[in-house]
Amino acid sequence: MRRGLERSSAGSQSQPGPHLARCALTCAGPIFRPDREVAALTVSEFTSELDLNATVSFDHVCRRFLHDANRALVWLLRFRALTTWRERGEIALWLKASPSRAEHACEVAASFELNQDWEFDAEAFRSAVESIRR
């Protein structure tokens, strides 16, 4: 069995690998802020080496964050929220209509608020992406 964040046989659910507790012992900072929101990442932290079509390994992400399991977990939560959002039928079509929207979505995902299910509110997130004009 591969370790890390893996898709279950159902296809849409992800499961953390069994080594999460071991890696979590090396955490350098809090996962959640006191107001219970998932901490924000910088755009460069989130988008560096970002491949939305890749299989994500918790070990690999943890190494990217110098074994800071908290930052790695935050990255994984935001990655999963972004991939879940972009897989929605109407969102996929909307993203295809303007290639720059996908880039903007990645930038917004670094710090956008997650809901109680650790996902982005679809319409609020889309509005935030639309608000970026270059």
pLDDT for the residue numbered 30:
52
- With CA atoms as reference, report the closest residue to 1 among 15, 22, 21: 15
Query: Alpha-carbon distance 3 to 118, whole Å?
Result: 21
Q: Where are the beta strands (DSSP E) in the chain?
A: 6-7, 14-15
Stronger pLDDT, 124 or 39, i.e. the higher one: 124
Instruction: Give mean pLDDT, residues 47-62.
Output: 84
pLDDT for the residue numbered 7:
33
Percent of the residues in the chain that have a pLDDT greater than 90, as a whole number? 40
pLDDT tens digits for range 81-124: 999 999 998 999 999 999 899 999 999 999 999 998 889 999 99
Question: Max Cα separation, the chain?
Answer: 44
Tokens of 130: 């639309």
